[in-house]
Structure 1
């Protein structure tokens, strides 16, 4: 072999390696596609494409009456279309026809908005009922994810007490899911829960609903919010290294209201003061803090409604970035990858 040929082969191998690394590094720039009453269509997906998103989380729902009720009601005619199997399937079809990849993220809603992380049964019989009910719920959507070719499947969202109290169930459930679905797996842990999830090494991503507090200010500056991210970045990097898995923000985002960085998980609808700068600055700080980190796989902005033209935009104090200045920030960031 000549010296010139050796150099050519080494260069070719290097180029292929770099190309593979770049492909692996392509970030998930996602939106959380909210389930609606009606089917979606190309015009609604166009708004997702307009912000340069390459992924959408499709979120069918199950419902529970209270924190200690063991039965999950799901896929019924009384639910909104997008919350059902048929609706989620239709959403995925239209999204994928437009080149958007999908994470299927089944979620539970407890009456009056109780936090799912506190869901805990009082008796062994109720735990068994919950396990059977959750298995039925999640395996139905694992099957749907397999049938529709969804790229990622999320096995649960913010269910800390369920996981803490029933670890054997979750280990068995993951095996059952893998027998049905062959794509990537994650679990959406709350920001203060993810460090204690015991089964990350059985999944592909450490999933985090990233509502980390980053500022006490009414209107945080970008630099102030970035400073608030430092300790969380160190923690995220440590958990990622220990699990041997990248971090995926299964949800992230801030409200367009005062003190948006103080308790970012707060969805209290009585807080109606609009502060667009607070939302814009905290979102920009998040992008500048984590999006380029080697342990980071991407994230899904919370939340993206299909009926975009009806979003109040600059009059809205809730999470959605639609028709607000922060939408441009997301568009520019998502265009980089």
Structure 2
């Protein structure tokens, strides 16, 4: 998917015309992300809102700087909303009480290294938000895992506006508020899976975790909108969540004491956010229905492997980047066969003539 400017005319046919423009698609994605964003801000207070604003600001500022350096028009590219979507997705993957420099640095890295280095919108090989998330996680593991327990906005325990700004500008969460026990903690540190996080708490988001990935219901509401509007293909989320649930159920049957069931994997962590908003990025995903199903299944399998046996409790970002790199191979292996030709592109061999004809 490439950006279009009024002074650029198509030069070759055939052309496929979609009903939605890029700005319209981005606005729909932002609308779909609104429930999860609002839930995250409500649960984690003013510092979470500051994290969202700073991540979007970092992305938009980096986009403007890159366009200015490249002497490309600013207004049209900035108005398409892609930088805002990248910033919001990145913010939803960050700790809600992150220090001010973390979302700014991540947003700039996502746009400059993950997007503009490859040529801009539609040219990037890897998902920019996930590339930034991995870079931040590797470079600043302490800040990226400083979880806080939910403190709903305007509640007595929640920081006020000025206190929230002080937390953000002063370096992040205060030590007394930090809680390392996320919904996926039993995967790495052991524990009673059945009596761990209540399913209702996981569905509503009242558990420690990243800003926008704790509320499964809010994410499902936004994802359903994208699928219903045909903004994203259904094959990727169905294959991703189905594969993740299948593997979790299989290993749970083998050893329930060491492997939790599928509900913890589906409702905890970034699985739903990834299935509908990250893995469905059309730039890094295959173009055929079969290819999309393989792509989603691969991400689901990698998420389970990394969560269960890897060094990180959450494997979404790594899984997405690995499958982004495999997309050209998937497209090549499952590309449709043209009439009269093999899948390799060579003409079909002629049938041998029968005797006497």
TM-score, normalising length: structure 2: 0.26
| TM-score normalised to structure 1 length | 0.27
More helix per residue: 1 or 2?
2
Larger strand proportion, structure 1 or 2?
Answer: 1
